[in-house]
Structure 1
Amino acid sequence: MSEQTKNCKYQDPDGATCLEQSNASGFCYWHDKTVDKSSSSVKVALETYAKKGGLLRGIILQRANLSGIDLVNHGSKTGYDFSYADFYRADLSNGHLFNINLSGASLMKANLANANLNCATLEKTNLLGAKWTQTKIENIQFGKKLKQEDQAKQALRDHDHASAIDYFEQAEEIYRDLRKHAEREGIFSLAGQFIHRELTMRRMQLPPLSLKRLTSKIIDLFCGYGENPVRIILLSIILIIICAVLYALSGLNYQDQLYVMSFEKSVAENCHIFLSCLYYSVVTFTTLGYGDFTPIGFSRAIAAMEAFTGSFTIALFVVVFVKKMTR
């Protein structure tokens, strides 16, 4: 038999291959999903295999008893690469997993209680049902999206709305579990990111043209579900500028003189009018109401809308800002 046929036939999506000797199934011990790895000897064997430089990507460790395992790549700045590995229902409690790479792996229903996952990479990792009791998660790289989010969007492209809703529900559950754990650990900035994603996943489950979904989207754009006070400031500035343009086009009254932009006036005059309208827009938005400028015609409706929106926005900003600062 040639050397090539003796090698494990595992190949992951990134093209990595395993050079370990294969068994009857064509896969090596670590990549063979038919091999039971629940025995207590697996932990020591895995530590030894990792230290000797074996391919850890895509290994199958379903239901493995790895409690207290040390998978820290000591003496190296990069951690062990367990991309695409399967830890379904594995016991990783009290494990030392610092700086480990679990991109594309499955930690579905894995026990991570008291494990050290600081600086780990969990991009596109299946985290559904994982147990996070007292798990250390500082500086973890979760990526921009969960695996379930990509699956949900693919299901929508395939017009499989039932599957899409199911994936969005899974993503919401994962973000909710992560948010609760981040709050318990006192990592409130991370908890804020998770609650934003959690509520986004909840919105995606609503009917596309429903009022609830539209309202949820507006709240997200306006303040990021209460987690982004900077977004309120940016939208306020945009609203002030838009209203200033409308005032300049519809006109304001100042000491019986009409301030309105037109093509007949010079650039300098139009700039002066716009700056005056911008000043009035700021005064109206903040509800100061000095009274030096007064709206006329259509400008009255604009001023009323801006004053109402401004008072609401300022109050909202205070609430969101205080919420962020008191965490």
Structure 2
Amino acid sequence: MTKKICAYEDKDGFVCNEHANESGLCFWHDPNQDKSGPEIKEKLEQYARSGGQTRGIVLKHADLSQVNLVNHHKKHGFDFSYADLYRAKLDCAHLFNIKLDHASLMKANLTAANINCASLRDCNLLGVRWHECKIENIKLGKELRQQKLAKIATQKKEFDEAFDLYEQAEEIYRDLRKHSEREGLFSLSGDLIQRELTVRRMRMPKFSFKRLGSKIVDIFCGYGEAPLRIVFISIVMIIICASIYTFTGLNYQGDIIAYSPDKPLWENVSLFLSCLYYSVVTFTTLGYGDFTPVGYSRAIAAIEAFTGSFTIALFVVVFVKKMTR
């Protein structure tokens, strides 16, 4: 009699070679098999260490308290990609370096678990209990699963679904951020607050002033988490204004100096450097008085001075906030 092989195959082409039951799937990949018993923890450990296909296994409601799924003396942890761990009890579990890409940890209990260095790319983390869970160096990827699905829903003009998915993503980021702050992982919490506020912005009306204001704050300082971005924008602002002054002209010792194609190249370059100096002085609101604006340069100087004073104050606030964590 021919041995019936499990019919499981995931999106990446991985298959399972375990013996299949009547459903065509093995015990681990069959969603109808009861895995809530107390013996499931030891069975899972043995199955994983014996080289079984752990990708895509279904462990909904499984009691895996204190389970040890650390792949000792190996570079890579066990691969549980596409696994379904809905409402699984994983309190005090040892999951160091585990791979849970595209998996579901929805409403799983990770109280006091260790998932340091775990890969959680495209994993459903909605409703996870993070209390006292170790999350150092976890890999979340650029976006959560909900964000990707929300973008697809937006393209299909299913705006209610997209709004709900963005709301779920915000909740996940908020829960993770609060937990990372409690754990003292301020670098991670800084990244998470940026992501949280970004998905919150996506829930705002598309052409509203509120959304525009949120986008501007993101561009200028990354919601208070990117002080160097302010420095870069300041440099760009100074160079742009200097270029404008070169053409609109400045007053220097009673003479109007401005770009002219009839002048030698070195003279126009010297003029630009003088305008660059004036732009720096104006942006920092020092105002030495050796150069003064004329004509359209006055409006540009006023805008630059206002922007400069605001930007410098913003940099101080953001830098102090970042460094005093």
Under TM normalisation by the shorter chain, which class is it?
over 0.9
Once residues 202 and 39 of structure 1 are traced to their aligned partners in structure 2, the CA distance between those partners, rounded to angstroms, is 41
Once residues 259 and 190 of structure 2 are traced to their aligned partners in structure 1, the CA distance between those partners, rounded to angstroms, is 45
CA offset digits 1:99-154 (Å, max 9, x no partner): 00000000000000100001110000000000100111111111111000110001
1:120 to 118, 121, 130: 118
Residue correspondence of structure 1 range 76-225 to structure 2 within 5 A: 76-225=74-223
What residue in structure 2 maps to residue 67 of structure 1? 65
Once residues 182 and 310 of structure 1 are traced to their aligned partners in structure 2, the CA distance between those partners, rounded to angstroms, is 34
Deviation (angstroms), 1:265 = 1.3
Residue correspondence of structure 1 range 28-47 to structure 2 within 5 A: 28-47=26-45
1:129 maps to a residue whose letter is G
CA offset digits 1:272-316 (Å, max 9, x no partner): 000000000000000001000000011011111111110010000
2:221 maps to a residue whose letter is C
SS at match of 1:118: coil
What residue in structure 1 maps to residue 55 of structure 2? 57
Residue correspondence of structure 1 range 151-300 to structure 2 within 5 A: 151-300=149-298
Query: Aligned pairs, how many?
Result: 325
CA offset digits 1:22-46 (Å, max 9, x no partner): 1111100000001111111100000
What residue in structure 1 maps to residue 318 of structure 2? 320
Unaligned 5+ segments in structure 2 are none
What's the TM-score, normalizing by structure 1? 0.98
Once residues 220 and 295 of structure 1 are traced to their aligned partners in structure 2, the CA distance between those partners, rounded to angstroms, is 32
1:251 maps to a residue whose letter is G
Once residues 213 and 2 of structure 1 are traced to their aligned partners in structure 2, the CA distance between those partners, rounded to angstroms, is 62
2:308 maps to a residue whose letter is G
Once residues 42 and 27 of structure 2 are traced to their aligned partners in structure 1, the CA distance between those partners, rounded to angstroms, is 14
CA offset digits 1:82-105 (Å, max 9, x no partner): 000010000101000000000000
SS at match of 2:194: helix
2:62 maps to a residue whose letter is A
SS at match of 2:201: helix
1:64 maps to a residue whose letter is A
Once residues 260 and 41 of structure 2 are traced to their aligned partners in structure 1, the CA distance between those partners, rounded to angstroms, is 79
What's the TM-score, normalizing by structure 2? 0.99
Once residues 168 and 263 of structure 1 are traced to their aligned partners in structure 2, the CA distance between those partners, rounded to angstroms, is 54
CA offset digits 1:235-254 (Å, max 9, x no partner): 11111111001111100011
SS at match of 2:224: coil
1:65 maps to a residue whose letter is D
CA offset digits 1:189-243 (Å, max 9, x no partner): 1100000000000000011111111111011001101110011011111111110
Unaligned 5+ segments in structure 1 are none
Once residues 264 and 195 of structure 2 are traced to their aligned partners in structure 1, the CA distance between those partners, rounded to angstroms, is 50
Once residues 86 and 117 of structure 1 are traced to their aligned partners in structure 2, the CA distance between those partners, rounded to angstroms, is 17
1:222 maps to a residue whose letter is F
SS at match of 2:297: helix
Once residues 259 and 126 of structure 1 are traced to their aligned partners in structure 2, the CA distance between those partners, rounded to angstroms, is 63
Once residues 202 and 107 of structure 1 are traced to their aligned partners in structure 2, the CA distance between those partners, rounded to angstroms, is 23
Deviation (angstroms), 1:2 = 3.5
Deviation (angstroms), 1:79 = 0.3
Deviation (angstroms), 1:177 = 0.5
CA offset digits 1:146-181 (Å, max 9, x no partner): 000110001011111111111100000000011001
SS at match of 2:251: strand
